[in-house]
Amino acid sequence: MKRIATLLIALLCQEALGQSPETIADFGGDPFLKTPEIKLTPPRRDAYLNDHFPVHTPSMSPGRIRGGDLPLPHETAKLHPSFFVMGYDNYSVQWVSAHKQKLVEASAKGFVVNVESAAQLQQLRSILKPLTLIAAPGSSFTELWGVQHYPFFVHQGALTQ
Task: Quote the CA–CA distance of 60 and 58 in Å, as a whole number.
Answer: 6
Q: What is the mean pLDDT of residues 65-71?
A: 67
Phi and psi for 52 in degrees, rounded to 5? -115, 30
pTM of the complete model: 0.67
Residue 2 to residues 13, 16, 72, 87, Cα–Cα distance (Å): 16, 21, 54, 69
Q: Evaluate if residue 128 carries a pLDDT over 80.
A: yes
- Give the CATH number of domain 47-160: 3.40.30
What residue spans define the domains of the chain? 47-160
pLDDT digits (tens, 9 = 90+) for 42-63: 766 555 555 589 999 999 999 9
- Convert 142-157 to b/e letters by CB count within 10 Å (16 or more is b): beebebebbbbbbbee
The alpha carbon of residue 144 and the mean position of all alpha carbons in its chain are separated, in whole angstroms, by: 17
Q: Evaluate if residue 122 carries a pLDDT over 60.
A: yes
